[in-house]
Structure 1
Amino acid sequence: MHNRIGWRRWFSGAVVGVLLSVMAVPTPASANPGRSVDPATVLAALMARFMTVEEKVGQLFVVEVYGQDANTVSASNQRLYGVDTPAQVIDKYKPGGVIYFDARRGPDNVRDPRQIATLSNGLQAAAARQRIPVPLLISTDQEGGAVVFRLTAPATAMPGNMALGAAGSTSAAHRSAEVIGTELAAVGINQNYAPVADVNVNPANPVIGVRSVGENPALVSRIVSAQVEGYHSGGTATVAKHFPGHGDTATDSHFGLPEVTHTRAQLEAIDLPPFKSAIRTGVDTIMTAHVVLKSVDPSGAPATMSQPILTGLLRNELGYKGLIVTDALDMGGATGTYPPNVAPVEAFKAGADQLVLAPQMDVAYNAVLAAVRSGEISKKRLDESVTRILALKLKRGLFLHRYVDVERAATVVGAPKHLADAQAITDKTTTLVRNDAGLLPLSKDPRKVLVTGWGVTTTQTLGAALTARGQTSTVAETGTTPSAARIAEVAALAAANDLVVVSTNNAGSINVATGQPTASAAAQQAFVQALVATGKPVVVAAMRNPYDVAYLPTAQTYLATYGYTAGQVESLARVLFGEVNPGGKLPVTIPKADGSGALYPFGHGLRYVG
Structure 2
Amino acid sequence: MTVEEKVGQLFVVEVYGQDANTVSPQSAARNQALYGVDTPAQVIGKYKPGGVIYFDTGRGADNLRDPRQIATLSNGLQLAATGQRKPIPLLISTDQEGGSLVFRLTAPATAMPGNMALGAGRSAAAAHRSAVVIGTELAAVGINQNYAPVADVNVNPANPVIGIRSIGENPDLAAELVAAQVDGYHAAGVAAVAKHFPGHGDTATDSHFGLPEVTHTREQLEAIDLPPFRAAIARGVDTIMTAHVVLRSVDPSGAPATMSRPILTGLLRDELCYDGLIVTDALDMRGATDTYPPNVAPVEAFKAGADMLVLAPQMDVAYAAVLEAVRSGQISNRRLDESVYRILRLKMRRGLFDNPLVDVELAATVVGAPQHLADAQAITNRTTTLVSNDFGLLPLSREPRNVLVTGWGVTTTRLIGEAITRRGQSVAVVETGLTPTQARIDEVAALAAGKDLVVVSTNNAANVNAATGLPTPSAAAQQAFVAALAATGTPIIVSGMRNPYDISRLPAVSAYLATYGYTAHAIEALGGALFGDINPAGRLPVTIPRSDGSGALYPFGHGLSYDGLAMMM
Report the TM range for the smaller structure's normalisation. Answer: over 0.9
State which of 205, 217, 239 in structure 1 corresponds to 2:193. Answer: 239
Q: CA deviation at 1:71?
A: 1.3
Question: What secondary structure sits across from 1:144 in the alignment?
Answer: coil
- String of CA shifts for 1:208-255, please: whole Å, max 9, x gaps: 000000000000000000000011111210000000000000000000
Amino acid at match of 1:141: D
- Between the aligned partners of 1:102 and 1:248, the Cα distance in structure 2 is 29
- String of CA shifts for 1:262-298, please: whole Å, max 9, x gaps: 0000000000000000000010000000000000000
Amino acid at match of 2:240: I
- Between the aligned partners of 1:554 and 1:607, the Cα distance in structure 2 is 19
- String of CA shifts for 1:142-191, please: whole Å, max 9, x gaps: 00000000000000001100000000000000000000000000000000
Question: What secondary structure sits across from 1:242 in the alignment?
Answer: strand
Report if the CA contact (8 A) 2:482-2:507 is conserved. Answer: no
Equivalence for 1:357: 311
Question: What secondary structure sits across from 2:4 in the alignment?
Answer: helix
- String of CA shifts for 1:192-219, please: whole Å, max 9, x gaps: 0000000000000000000000000000
User: How do residues 315-354 of structure 1 correspond to structure 2 at under 5 angstroms?
Assistant: 315-354=269-308
Q: Does 1:228 align with 2:182?
A: yes
Q: Does 1:417 align with 2:367?
A: no
Equivalence for 1:17: none
Equivalence for 1:5: none
User: How do residues 470-489 of structure 1 correspond to structure 2 at under 5 angstroms?
Assistant: 470-489=424-443
Question: What secondary structure sits across from 1:370 in the alignment?
Answer: helix
Q: Does 1:186 align with 2:140?
A: yes
Q: Does 1:574 align with 2:524?
A: no
- Between the aligned partners of 2:151 and 2:487, the Cα distance in structure 1 is 42
Question: What secondary structure sits across from 1:385 in the alignment?
Answer: helix
Equivalence for 1:260: 214
- String of CA shifts for 1:314-344, please: whole Å, max 9, x gaps: 0000000100000000000000000000000
Equivalence for 1:552: 506
Question: What secondary structure sits across from 2:404 in the alignment?
Answer: strand
- Between the aligned partners of 1:354 and 1:270, the Cα distance in structure 2 is 27
Question: What secondary structure sits across from 2:183 in the alignment?
Answer: helix
Question: What secondary structure sits across from 2:195 in the alignment?
Answer: strand
- String of CA shifts for 1:99-127, please: whole Å, max 9, x gaps: 00000011010010000000000000000
Equivalence for 2:16: 66
Larger Rg: 1
Q: Does 1:55 align with 2:27?
A: no
Q: Does 1:535 align with 2:485?
A: no
- Between the aligned partners of 2:541 and 2:82, the Cα distance in structure 1 is 46
- Between the aligned partners of 1:199 and 1:361, the Cα distance in structure 2 is 33
Q: CA deviation at 1:556?
A: 3.0
Question: What secondary structure sits across from 2:248 in the alignment?
Answer: coil
User: How do residues 169-318 of structure 1 correspond to structure 2 at under 5 angstroms?
Assistant: 169-318=123-272
Amino acid at match of 2:499: N
Count residues in correspondence.
560
Q: Does 1:395 align with 2:349?
A: yes
Q: Does 1:456 align with 2:410?
A: yes
- String of CA shifts for 1:404-428, please: whole Å, max 9, x gaps: 0000000000000000000000000
- String of CA shifts for 1:427-463, please: whole Å, max 9, x gaps: 0000000000100000011111100000000000111
| TM-score in terms of structure 1 length | 0.91
Q: CA deviation at 1:469?
A: 1.0
- Between the aligned partners of 2:462 and 2:16, the Cα distance in structure 1 is 37
Report if the CA contact (8 A) 2:384-2:538 is conserved. Answer: yes
Q: CA deviation at 1:72?
A: 2.9
Equivalence for 1:107: 61
Q: CA deviation at 1:260?
A: 0.1
- Between the aligned partners of 1:113 and 1:462, the Cα distance in structure 2 is 28
Amino acid at match of 2:146: N
Question: What secondary structure sits across from 1:149 in the alignment?
Answer: coil
State which of 473, 492, 495 in structure 1 corresponds to 2:449. Answer: 495
Q: CA deviation at 1:466?
A: 0.9
Q: CA deviation at 1:401?
A: 1.5
Q: CA deviation at 1:515?
A: 0.8
- Between the aligned partners of 1:589 and 1:513, the Cα distance in structure 2 is 22
Report if the CA contact (8 A) 2:486-2:507 is conserved. Answer: no
User: How do residues 7-18 of structure 1 correspond to structure 2 at under 5 angstroms?
Assistant: none
Amino acid at match of 2:5: E
Amino acid at match of 1:56: K
- Between the aligned partners of 1:157 and 1:63, the Cα distance in structure 2 is 26
- Between the aligned partners of 1:334 and 1:609, the Cα distance in structure 2 is 51
Unaligned 5+ residue runs, structure 2? 565-569
| TM-score in terms of structure 2 length | 0.98
Question: What secondary structure sits across from 1:365 in the alignment?
Answer: helix
Report if the CA contact (8 A) 2:64-2:70 is conserved. Answer: yes
Equivalence for 1:43: none
Q: CA deviation at 1:495?
A: 1.1
Q: CA deviation at 1:553?
A: 3.0
- Between the aligned partners of 1:492 and 1:499, the Cα distance in structure 2 is 13
- Between the aligned partners of 1:414 and 1:503, the Cα distance in structure 2 is 27
Q: Does 1:77 align with 2:31?
A: yes
- Between the aligned partners of 1:606 and 1:230, the Cα distance in structure 2 is 30
- String of CA shifts for 1:345-382, please: whole Å, max 9, x gaps: 00000000000000000000000000000000000000
Amino acid at match of 1:225: A
Equivalence for 2:464: 510
Equivalence for 1:44: none
Shifted more, 231-240 versus 413-422: the winner is 231-240
Question: What secondary structure sits across from 2:278 in the alignment?
Answer: strand
Question: What secondary structure sits across from 1:433 in the alignment?
Answer: strand
User: How do residues 135-150 of structure 1 correspond to structure 2 at under 5 angstroms?
Assistant: 135-150=89-104
Amino acid at match of 1:552: L
Equivalence for 2:552: 598
- Between the aligned partners of 2:179 and 2:358, the Cα distance in structure 1 is 27
Equivalence for 1:47: none
Report if the CA contact (8 A) 2:491-2:509 is conserved. Answer: no
Equivalence for 2:384: 430
User: How do residues 20-35 of structure 1 correspond to structure 2 at under 5 angstroms?
Assistant: none
Equivalence for 1:519: 473
Amino acid at match of 2:185: Y
Amino acid at match of 1:199: V
- String of CA shifts for 1:127-153, please: whole Å, max 9, x gaps: 011000000000000000000000000
Equivalence for 2:119: 165
Amino acid at match of 1:62: V
RMSD after superposition? 0.6
Equivalence for 1:46: none
Amino acid at match of 2:4: E
Amino acid at match of 2:237: V
Amino acid at match of 1:289: A
- Between the aligned partners of 2:403 and 2:125, the Cα distance in structure 1 is 37
Amino acid at match of 1:530: A
